[in-house]
Amino acid sequence: MANSYYDPADLKKFGNITEWSEELGKKFFDYYGKVFEEGALSAREKSLIALAVAHVVKCPYCIDAYTKDGLQRGITKEEMMEAVHAGAAIESGATLVHGVQMMNKYDKLSM
């Protein structure tokens, strides 16, 4: 297998970010942990949301982590794919709605 810029082994090193900025790293991980606690949304629902967002922001580490997490929480492959499609639809819509900005600018400049 060819080398990749993203090494899956690096995901295990994520906690090391505190080494170069202990205070901010600790605050981030405290926040991150709090966000994924059970609340109005279940941990399962949050995992599915995280998987969809991971695809939208194109984070291979997050995709790996939340695919694994989702499997452990009983999320089916169909639910995962549906979540990915929901994220893709929002991302596509956000891109296309900016077409209105382009249309407005074109109209203004071509007068």
**CATH of residue 65:** 1.20.1290.10
User: How does pLDDT run across 33-62, given as a tens digit for each residue?
Assistant: 999 999 999 999 999 999 999 999 999 999
Report if residue 88 sits inside a domain: yes
Give the pTM.
0.84
Residue 12 in any domain: the answer is no
Per-residue pLDDT 10s for the chain (111 aa) are 467 788 888 889 999 999 999 999 999 999 999 999 999 999 999 999 999 999 999 999 999 999 999 999 999 999 999 999 999 999 999 999 999 999 999 999 998
End-to-end CA distance of the chain: 56
The Cα diameter of the chain in Å comes to 58
- Tokens for 79, please give them: 């639910």
For residue 10, tell me if it sits in a domain.
no
Domain count, the chain: 1
79 domain-assigned: yes
Which value, to the nearest 10 degrees, does the dihedral of the CA atoms of residues 7, 9, 11, 13 take? -120
Q: Is residue 78 part of a domain?
A: yes
